[in-house]
Amino acid sequence: MEHIQELNHFITQYGYLAIFLFVFLQELGVPNPITNELVLLFSGYLTYTGVLSMPKVIITSVSADFIGTSILYFTFYALSKHYIYKNPPKWLAKLVAKLDHLKQRIDNGNKWAIFLGRLTPFIRGYVSVAAGTLQIKPRIFLTTVLISAIVWSGGLALTGRLLGPYWNQMALKVGTFQFVGIIIVVIVALLFIGRYVTRKELAKGNKSI
């Protein structure tokens, strides 16, 4: 409960700037004791209580998500362009060859690898690093991560608002972090089901061609 009280105080005091900084820094890869999932869910809850505005929370969180991961992508895009591919270490030779194969698949229109990766907790940041290293075209990457930011960050904030009437009751019974953990597990399960269905549909489409 102490972390939640601190989060409540910080967001209440600094508003949308606090949300932006939490999400932005974590998307850059800066360690944060409070995960983005908790920040976004709690921000959504605060829109239910009337402390924050739902449209502004979504705009703030999506912007922070998109800008943060784009900076990470362009950093590795520049490093890869000027060093990794021109002077790859011996131990990276095989990896670079595999990355080239994956790059070709994505360039041919398989944006789902980026989109679904950005919707998977724990590996979201690595997707941006990989895309930059792979020299994925900015047009493809930026379009895809913008959509994923709307789905992920906007979806978590909306989930927090929808759970508003039950937040305090459930948090008192099972503990705030356990409650948030249950929510995240459910969201992750739904995402993996969505990934499974999507892959099945893509497989069917490839067979029919």
Which 3 state secondary structure label does DSSP give 3?
Answer: helix
- Tell me the pLDDT tens digit for each residue of 81-118: 656 555 655 544 555 555 555 555 555 545 677 887 78
User: What local confidence, expressed as pLDDT, does residue 71 receive?
Assistant: 94
Q: Which residues contact 7 (CB under 8 A, 6 or more apart)?
A: 34, 38, 39, 42
Tell me, what amino acid is at 140? I
CA angle 25, 16, 142 (to 5 degrees): 50
User: What local confidence, expressed as pLDDT, does residue 33 receive?
Assistant: 74
User: What local confidence, expressed as pLDDT, does residue 172 receive?
Assistant: 53
User: What local confidence, expressed as pLDDT, does residue 208 receive?
Assistant: 47
CB 69 within 8 A of CB 24: no
Dihedral angle of Cα 1, 188, 73, 113, to the nearest 10 degrees: 180
User: What local confidence, expressed as pLDDT, does residue 60 receive?
Assistant: 96
**pTM of the predicted model as reported, rounded to 2 decimal places:** 0.72
- One digit per residue, the tens of pLDDT, for the chain of length 209 reads 555 667 777 888 888 999 999 999 989 888 777 778 888 888 998 899 898 999 999 999 999 999 999 999 998 888 876 565 556 555 445 555 555 555 555 555 456 778 877 877 777 778 888 888 778 888 888 998 999 899 889 988 988 898 888 776 665 555 555 656 666 666 666 566 555 655 555 455 445 44
